[in-house]
Amino acid sequence: MGWTRKEVGIVFCLSLVLLLAAWLVAEMAMGMLRPAPVERDAMLGWRLKPNYHRVFTQKTLAGEDYPVTFATNDQGLRVFGSAAAPVKILVLGDSFTADPYASNDRMWYAEMARRLAQRLHRPASDFYVMGGGAGGWGTYQNLLLSQQLAPRIKPDLFVLQFCSNDFQNNSYDWESKGVVRGQYMRRPFLDGQSGQPKYAPGLMAEIYRSAVGESRLLNRIDGIIGNMQFQRYGGYTRPLSPQVAARYEHDAIAVTQILLTRLRAVYRDVPAVMVNCDGGEAGANKSWKALARNAGFLPLAGPSDFLRSVPPARRGVIFHADGSHLSDQGNQLYGAIAGDGLAAMDLALPAKR
């Protein structure tokens, strides 16, 4: 005797409830065992969690494991040194600055401060560094964060860590043609008419920006799909005609100039330096130093020149297993070059205490 329609409906509903319960339990377990360092943010899309602490095990490109102690303060900033130090440095950027590829005291900006102190014949304790941002961020998110921090944080030196992918991150038209949905459906973009944040439209974008969008399982599935598309397209963007690609690049450079100028204005009264985490000199990235100068930043090319000149035999030690970010040793080298560059600029910094 077959099942009645009512019985089929009951079994279906029970199965759905069990699946939902299993999903919720799995989400809770992953959240407790491996808490993510970022959280959803209504304006910024996502940001580093405040008062977060976790020890990660990372791997170099050569396959060697190394420990990473990652921590944020009550403002969601990674810090190095004492807040009582006379020289305070604010560093904003993306994954190159905010993600757990090296411990706080071994991140490139921590070494930058140590090297700067050494070159200026000052104790390292004279410098306090605050690193902010989040993986995948663009220039507009750094601008919005700087505006939030400005009433509370008064740095003596502002360092912006830029990257070539910021150009695409700053342009909705360009980034929406990409495969990283978890970023462009969540991030704010500058509305050229109102000057206010705008977000991707549609139901899917609303889901990504909701609590449901924080699901580890859903994001894992989305990541798998994105990786498949990356392999198919040979990059993070769907194929574009040369004319469309050129227009997107032109528009992205223009909006990036606007964002950099506004970002510089937030800390207009202190020296501001810009570094790049990409040594490439093709496409929009070849214009980064000119954009920096036009906005009032001092471009520091030494660190990105170093990335471009790393010999193949050294990549295994200097880079993280993903091949793009720096290992703890790579961070040390990049930071030392940045510190040397800052010392050569003869910046006006507060005197010794």
pLDDT in tens, 130-140: 999 999 999 99
- Are 21 and 44 found together in one domain? no
- Are 28 and 94 found together in one domain? no
Pairing of strands 298-299, 272-276: parallel
Whether residue 351 lies inside any domain: the answer is no
Segment 224-249 mean pLDDT: 89
- Are 61 and 191 found together in one domain? yes
- Are 19 and 124 found together in one domain? no
- Are 71 and 4 found together in one domain? no
Whether residue 352 lies inside any domain: the answer is no
Whether residue 157 lies inside any domain: the answer is yes
Q: What are the tens digits of pLDDT across the range 97-146?
A: 999 999 999 999 999 999 999 999 999 999 999 999 999 999 999 999 99
User: What pLDDT sits at residue 32?
Assistant: 54
Whether residue 51 lies inside any domain: the answer is yes
- Are 8 and 157 found together in one domain? no
The reported pTM is 0.90
- Are 188 and 47 found together in one domain? yes
Q: How confident is the model at residue 187 (pLDDT cuts 50, 70, 90)?
A: very high
User: What pLDDT sits at residue 212?
Assistant: 86
Whether residue 333 lies inside any domain: the answer is yes
Give the span between the Cα atoms of 198 and 28, in whole angstroms.
32
Supply the range of the domain harboring residue 29: 1-34
- Are 132 and 174 found together in one domain? yes
User: What pLDDT sits at residue 24?
Assistant: 58
Q: What are the tens digits of pLDDT across the range 214-228?
A: 887 788 888 888 888
Whether residue 27 lies inside any domain: the answer is yes
Overall number of domains in the chain: 2
Q: What are the tens digits of pLDDT across the range 306-340?
A: 999 999 999 999 999 999 999 999 999 999 999 99
Which residue did the predictor score with more confidence, 229 or 52? 52
Whether residue 204 lies inside any domain: the answer is yes
- Are 134 and 115 found together in one domain? yes
- Are 26 and 135 found together in one domain? no
- Are 6 and 154 found together in one domain? no
Which residue did the predictor score with more confidence, 17 or 76? 76
Other beta carbons less than 10 A from residue 281's beta carbon: 14
- Are 115 and 203 found together in one domain? yes
CATH classification of the domain holding 303: 3.40.50.1110
